[in-house]
Structure 1
Amino acid sequence: MEALTEHRPVNGPVVYGFLRLVRVSAARQSALRASLAEYCRTHELQLSGVFTDRPATSDPTSAAFTGLLDVLALPDVYGVIAPALSHLGPKPIAAERTRRIEATGARLLLARQPRAITRPSAPRREPAQRRPGPVRVLDAES
């Protein structure tokens, strides 16, 4: 009798990481890479490499991003993992890069989902307190 699938070494879908590291310490870089690896481990994904975009640029076609697009064209590549959407660049660049990633048929996975914008709740009101005061007595006889 063969072992269950959970007991066999099975490779998960192949993903590639993408980090934008502009003026980031070595410790922060290591932590970000570790967070991608941990996300992939817990979601049964195979992290095959991480592309790192270092220069601050206003062009969506950096060398790292072009390399990422090249590997996304390989067969059996599931998608791209990034810590957050901001790692694709400022909003206009991130939007263009997202479009280009999705155009390849790959999925864009974010380890940290964007926070939902919540409105501040109304201040909680304490229940009305009864204060001792004069007692009005009504005449029961009419």
Structure 2
Amino acid sequence: MDDELITERRPVAFPQVFGYLRHVTGGLSRHAALVDCLTEYCRQHELTLCGVFADREATVAVRSPAFVGLLDALELPDIYGAVVPALSHLGPKRVAADRKRQITATDARLLVVRSTRPLTAPARFRRESPGLQHQGGT
């Protein structure tokens, strides 16, 4: 397979990513919907989703078990980045900022899935947002 250019215009062969979710409400169906969101995003952007780490605790610790697992996975060779459904999955602002710093310190990219269509807004009020947003990294 030829190396494909990815958004920052550098060759990356087989870009592998790991997902991270934080959700404390909803059951298995909510979890499945979030994983499906990450899976579809990766399919559309020709990324390989290698696994998904999930926190379900109401309290937010910067170094939760699932987040530490994500950081460990990002240290594996040839890992391109981490993907989250929205920045809110990283936690409240203070925690999210620290987590973003930890992710980019691994030289991984932080990819954020954004909804392209609000659920409640009529079509004439919808704004299309980019499907891919890079946070940090080189």
Q: Larger Rg: 1 or 2?
A: 1
- What's 2:87 paired with? 85
Amino acid at match of 1:66: V
For the pair 1:100 / 2:102, whether they are aligned, the reply is yes
Q: In structure 1, what is the Cα distance between the partners aligned to 2:67 and 2:53?
A: 7
- Count of residue correspondences: 106
Q: Which has the higher strand share?
A: 2
SS where residue 61 of structure 1 aligns? coil
2:55 to 53, 66, 70: 53
Segments ≥4 residues shifted beyond 4 Å: none
Q: In structure 1, what is the Cα distance between the partners aligned to 2:21 and 2:59?
A: 14
SS where residue 94 of structure 2 aligns? helix
Deviations 1:6-27 (A, max 9, x none): xxxxx73000000001122221
- What's 2:78 paired with? 76
Q: Extract unaligned runs of 5+ from structure 2.
A: 3-12, 116-138
Q: In structure 2, what is the Cα distance between the partners aligned to 1:44 and 1:58?
A: 31
SS where residue 40 of structure 1 aligns? helix
RMSD value, Cα:
1.8
Q: TM-score, normalised by structure 2?
A: 0.72
Q: TM-score, normalised by structure 1?
A: 0.70
Amino acid at match of 2:84: A
Q: In structure 2, what is the Cα distance between the partners aligned to 1:76 and 1:33?
A: 22
Equivalences for residues 27-38 of structure 1 within 5 A: 27-38=29-40
Q: Extract unaligned runs of 5+ from structure 1.
A: 6-10, 114-142
- What's 1:17 paired with? 19
Q: In structure 1, what is the Cα distance between the partners aligned to 2:34 and 2:102?
A: 23
Amino acid at match of 1:69: L
* Alpha carbons of structure 1 residues 21 and 13: separation in structure 2 relative to 1, 3 Å: same
Q: Which has the higher contact order (CA 8 A, sep 6+)?
A: 1
